[in-house]
Structure 1
Amino acid sequence: MDRLKWPIYCFVAVAFWNMLGAGVFGFLINPPISLYYIQGLNTTAVHAHAALFGVYGFLALGFVFLIARYLRPNTPFNDKLMKWGFWLLNGGLILMIVSSLLPIGIIQGYASISEGLWYARSEEFMQQPLFDTLRWVRLVGDVVFIFGALAFLLQIFTMVFFKPKHTAN
């Protein structure tokens, strides 16, 4: 079972992000009252990022690593590389959501309720200095996420193009 550790971790991440991204954030934007006030604001992007990559991205990665395990049974996963990749992807996704998308969505939601959807989506509202700062802060989460993706890419690259040092007979 240890040979399938990382595909299983990816499938566990699918369950977590399905609960958070599709469940919590999906429910945040989909009740009728929410649809009236906050659909199409940054709260939708929160749901989209968490549900799309969190669920389908990790599902795809889990299957990729599962297939790689069966195509190259003698090539071990680099545990250090996989651990960094897994946690950087998850951490980067959380940072994107918490540092930028969700705060902007909450502020937009308040503006939509108090002033109207037209105002919450207006250029005047969206170009506030606070939002510019939050967009730059999001860069940290983006970079963390990219490093996680590169770690996973390096793992797949080494499994495909390099032979294992020790082969089991």
Structure 2
Amino acid sequence: IYAAPLVGGREPKRQGLLVDILFWALIVLVGGSMAGEWLGAKGLLGNNWFLFGHQGMEYIELGRFWQVILALGMLIWLFIVFRGIKSGLKRESDKGGLIHLLFYSSIAIPLFYGAAFFFNPGTNITMSDFWRWWIIHLWVEGIFEVFAVVVIGFLLVQMNLVTKKSTVRTLYFQLTILLGSGVIGIGHHYYYNGSSEVWIGLGSVFSCLEVIPLTLLVLEAYEQYKMMKDGGHHFPYKATFWFLISTAIWNLVGAGVLGFLINLPAVSYFEHGQFLTPAHGHGAMMGVYGMFAIAVWLYTLRNIAKKEAWNDKWLKIACWSLNIGLFGMVFINLLPVGFLQLKKAFEGGYWSSRAPEFLKQDTVQTLLTWRAVPDTIFLAGIVILVIFSIRALFHLRKPTHQEGEALPVKDIASDE
């Protein structure tokens, strides 16, 4: 929403009103759905459990009514983005250019969420689980991955770290991989739902291809950043770039390496849903989307906060705290417990690795207790970010333009 006027060249009139509506819709959605999930799980909603409560589907808990509000909210968000980039779309003659790709990926977010409406309480478990994984894998891990790469590419172009040409080339690589392997890649999730075994094997291979383009794009940006730094060029977005580098590293390690580790059918047969899964989940969800969200937030904040309110040293500490804490969670806690659990499943059967007796072992309990150390380091980074952000919000620059006025921005709509 912040970046849209940078593309379109002006902030549309009444855009702020739409943003306020979207914000309060989000508050209603989160508060209402969480209350509904709790009441539904307690059996206090009677026959309305599916509509207002808990659907009973892991990862898609919110009731159908709240899903509708979520879908409407995404459509409002899409409308806000479209209004912001509309003039940029007109200026860009290439229908496959960077701004058009930003718009296409934005459309895909509400579009692919439609799979969440393809089942109801009477749907066969095989079909309902099939569509559930469309949301978890293709929507979250696929469509959002493409959107993230598009936005990261846009930010890197804005920060003069990569060219528009190389960014678009990387985005086409990402789209090719997604369309060529994304749907098939869902298959590595199809344990316990009655699907054909062939999809598990195919899914484990194809899903491993989806993390490559983002890594290549940020590596190119890092080379440019080093040249700018060595040349003494002032670069105001250091903190943003640190978190974008973190995003790329965790995309390779958390989504890539740890994803490969559990995707192979021979491993997943003994491991599915054990501690190795959240090791991948922590590295991929917080490492990629979490670091990416912080990068976008700091890019926005850097442009709207006064220079005297900015301190890169504190943000560097926060960045290191988050990365060290997340590394400790994954590699000092979740991964070792996961390997012990995998060994137990291989020797005694899957059931034995999920039994309470396994978690009560001294070694496992010690590892789980020491989890407090990386968690505390991670939380320290969060506290620094929160304090820094609140302080910056009390030192905002005065707006220089009103809604509807043209903005003096770098034009990335040209084909140059």
| TM-score (norm: length of structure 2) | 0.38
Over 4 Å off, 4+ runs: none
The whole-number CA distance in structure 2 between the counterparts of 1:80 and 1:5 is 10
Query: Identity of counterpart residues, as a percentage?
Result: 34
Which residue is 1:131 aligned to? Answer: 364
The whole-number CA distance in structure 2 between the counterparts of 1:31 and 1:163 is 50
Q: Paired residue for 2:350, among 117, 126, 149?
A: 117
Which residue is 1:15 aligned to? Answer: 248
Gaps of 5+ in 1: 165-169
The whole-number CA distance in structure 2 between the counterparts of 1:30 and 1:19 is 15
The whole-number CA distance in structure 2 between the counterparts of 1:75 and 1:60 is 24
Contact 1:21 1:49 in 2 (8 A): yes
Higher relative contact order (CA 8 A, sep 6+): 1
Q: Structure 1 residue 101 and structure 2 residue 337: aligned?
A: no
Which residue is 2:314 aligned to? Answer: 81
- CA change 1:80–1:74 in 2 (3 A) is closer
Q: Structure 1 residue 27 and structure 2 residue 293: aligned?
A: no
The CA RMSD measured in Å over matched residues stands at 1.4
The whole-number CA distance in structure 2 between the counterparts of 1:6 and 1:33 is 41
Q: Deviations over 1:3-62 (max 9, x none)?
A: 111111111100000000000000111111122111111000100000000000000000
Gaps of 5+ in 2: 1-233, 398-416
Contact 2:304 2:396 in 1 (8 A): no
Q: Structure 1 residue 41 and structure 2 residue 274: aligned?
A: yes
Contact 2:244 2:291 in 1 (8 A): yes
Q: Paired residue for 1:142, among 355, 367, 375?
A: 375
How far 1:155 moved relative to its partner? Answer: 1.4
The whole-number CA distance in structure 2 between the counterparts of 1:101 and 1:78 is 34
* Structure number having the greater helix percentage: 1
Contact 2:324 2:378 in 1 (8 A): yes
Q: State which structure, 1 or 2, has the greater radius of gyration over its C-alpha atoms.
A: 2
Q: Paired residue for 1:155, among 371, 376, 388?
A: 388
The whole-number CA distance in structure 1 between the counterparts of 2:325 and 2:393 is 26
The whole-number CA distance in structure 1 between the counterparts of 2:264 and 2:352 is 21
Pairs aligned (count): 164
| TM-score (norm: length of structure 1) | 0.92
